[in-house]
Amino acid sequence: MMTAMKGRMYLITVLLVVSLILAACSESASSAPAVEEVTSQVAFVYSENVEEYNWSHLHEIGRQYLDEQLPDLGTKYVEAVEAEDAEDVIRKLAEEGHKLIFVTAAEFGDAAIKVAEDFPDTYFEVYGRGEVTENVATYDGRMYQAFYVAGGYTGEMTVSGVIGFIAPEPTLEVIRHINAIAASSLLVRTCEDISLHIRWTGSWNDPEAERAAALELIDLGADVLVQHTYSPEAQKVAEEKGIRSMGYGFDMREFAPNANMSSIIWQWGWYYLRRVNDMLEDKWKAKAYDGKVSTKAHGRGIVDLAAYNYDQIPHIMEAPPLKWRITWNETVKDALDGPIYAQNGDLVLAKGDKFPKDYIYTDMDWFVQGVVGEAPGDPPEKVEGRGMDVQCR
C-alpha cells in the first residue's frame, strides 16, 4: 500500500514539474518579440522628425504622394536618424528586402555607399551632389531656377518697390536663391527702384523669429514677402497685414488664402514616382539627376511653383516666366547666366557668359545688384563686356 502511494506521489511530482516546464516555455515564447513581416518595397531614411516643418517633412509629403499613386507598392520610413546611426539603419532596411532605398540627407551619403557595396541587387538614391556607383544614384534640383521664376512675379506685384526676404542663414544655397529672385525681380522692372531686403532668422524653423522678421520688413515698406524657411508663419503675417507673399518648400496657400501668390516648392513625389516606376519596369539606372524647373507649370518637375489662380497672379504676368522655363529646358542658357551685376553695381559676368562649372554651388557667397543686406563674401572682379541692353539714366 505504501509502495503504491509513493508511486502515485512520484507520478504527481513528475507531472507537476513537466507542467511547470511547459508553462515556462509557453511564457517565454509569448514574451519573445515577433519577427516583423516586411511588405514594403521602397524605404525612406529621414534625418528629422517628419511631423515638424523641416527638410524631412518635405520628403514625407513626397512619400505620401507615392503611396497615393501606387497604393499596392508599400513604403516604409525611418525618421530622426542620427548621422552615426545612418549606416545601421540603411543596412537593416536592405536586409529586410527593400528593393529601393531613398536616403534623403546628403550627410548620409557615405553610409549609403558602404551599405550598397554589400547589397548589389538593391538600389539606393541619395539626395545631393555626391558619388554615383553601380547601384547608388543621386538626385537634386536647380532650385535657384524656381526662385528666378518667382522673381518674375514678385517684381511685378510690388507697388512700394520693396520686397522682403526672410532667410535662415547665409549658406551658399540660400545666397544663390536670393540672387536669383533679386535678379529676375529687377529684370521685369528695369530702371525702376526695386530692392530685396534680407532678414536672417538663424533657423530654418523658428515661427517667432520669422514673425518678427516679417513685421520688421513690412515696417520698412515691403508689400511682398518671400520666405526661405519652413514654418508658414510669414504667410500668416502677410495675410494679417493684407500684403502679398511667396511660400517655400510646400504649398502654403492654406495659411494665407488671400495673401499667398504661390509657393516655391520641392516636388519630391514627382521624382519618387518616376524612379519607382523605373525600378518596377526594370529600367532603373544609377545617375546624378539635377532637375530643372519644369517647362510647364505645376507638377512636371522636381522644382516649381505651387498651383495658383489668376486672383493671386494676373494672367498677363505669365509670359516672361514661361519664356524662361522653355529657354532653360530647350537651350544651354540658365537663370544665372550673364549679364550679372554685383551688389555694388559692377558687371561681374558679361552677357552670354557663364560662371565656371559648379561656381554657384561652391563660390557664390556674395549678393547681386538690388539686394539690401550683408553677404559673407566678396564678388568677382569687374569685367569688360556687354551688360544690359537697356541703359538706365
The answer, yes or no, to whether the previous bond of 339 is cis (omega within 30 of 0) is yes
User: Does one domain contain both 151 and 234?
Assistant: yes
Residue 87 in any domain: the answer is: yes
Decide: helix, strand or coil at residue 97.
coil
Decide: helix, strand or coil at residue 52.
coil
- Final residue of a domain: which of 93, 109, 141? 141
Domain that holds residue 331: 143-265+304-372
Residue 276 in any domain: the answer is: no
Global pTM value: 0.89
Residue 322 in any domain: the answer is: yes
- Final residue of a domain: which of 141, 165, 191? 141
Query: What CATH number does residue 51 fall under?
Result: 3.40.50.2300
User: Does one domain contain both 94 and 169?
Assistant: no
| Number of domains observed in the structure of the chain | 2
User: Does one domain contain both 208 and 104?
Assistant: no
- The C-alpha cell 507531472 sits at 15
- CA 260, CA 48: separation in Å to the nearest integer? 27
User: Does one domain contain both 63 and 188?
Assistant: no
Residue 284 in any domain: the answer is: no
The residues pairing with 371 across neighbouring beta strands, listed in sequence order, are: 196
- Final residue of a domain: which of 141, 164, 183? 141
User: Does one domain contain both 362 and 341?
Assistant: yes
Q: What is the DSSP string of 113-179?
A: HHHHHH-TTSEEEEESS---BTTEEEEEE-HHHHHHHHHHHHHHH-SSSEEEEEES---HHHHHHHH
pLDDT (tens digit, 0 to 9) for every residue of the chain, 393 residues total? 444 444 444 444 444 444 444 444 444 333 433 435 668 899 999 999 999 999 999 999 999 999 999 999 999 999 999 999 999 999 999 999 999 999 999 999 999 999 999 999 999 999 999 999 999 999 999 999 999 999 999 999 999 999 999 999 999 999 999 999 999 999 999 889 999 999 999 999 999 999 999 999 999 999 999 999 999 999 999 999 999 999 999 999 999 999 999 999 999 999 999 999 999 999 999 999 999 998 766 667 899 999 888 888 888 888 889 899 989 988 999 999 999 999 999 999 999 999 999 999 999 999 999 999 999 999 999 999 888 887 776
User: Does one domain contain both 133 and 175?
Assistant: no
User: Does one domain contain both 128 and 157?
Assistant: no
User: Does one domain contain both 170 and 136?
Assistant: no
Angle at 66 between CA 255 and CA 95, to 5 degrees: 125
Is residue 50 within 8 Å of 79, Cβ to Cβ? yes
User: Does one domain contain both 157 and 76?
Assistant: no
User: Does one domain contain both 256 and 331?
Assistant: yes
Residue 60 in any domain: the answer is: yes
Q: Are strands 347-349 and 340-341 parallel, antiparallel or unpaired?
A: antiparallel
- CA 279, CA 281: separation in Å to the nearest integer? 5
- CA 262, CA 112: separation in Å to the nearest integer? 35
Residue 50 in any domain: the answer is: yes
Q: Which residues contact 341 (CB under 8 A, 6 or more apart)?
A: 347, 348, 368, 369, 387, 388
User: Does one domain contain both 238 and 222?
Assistant: yes
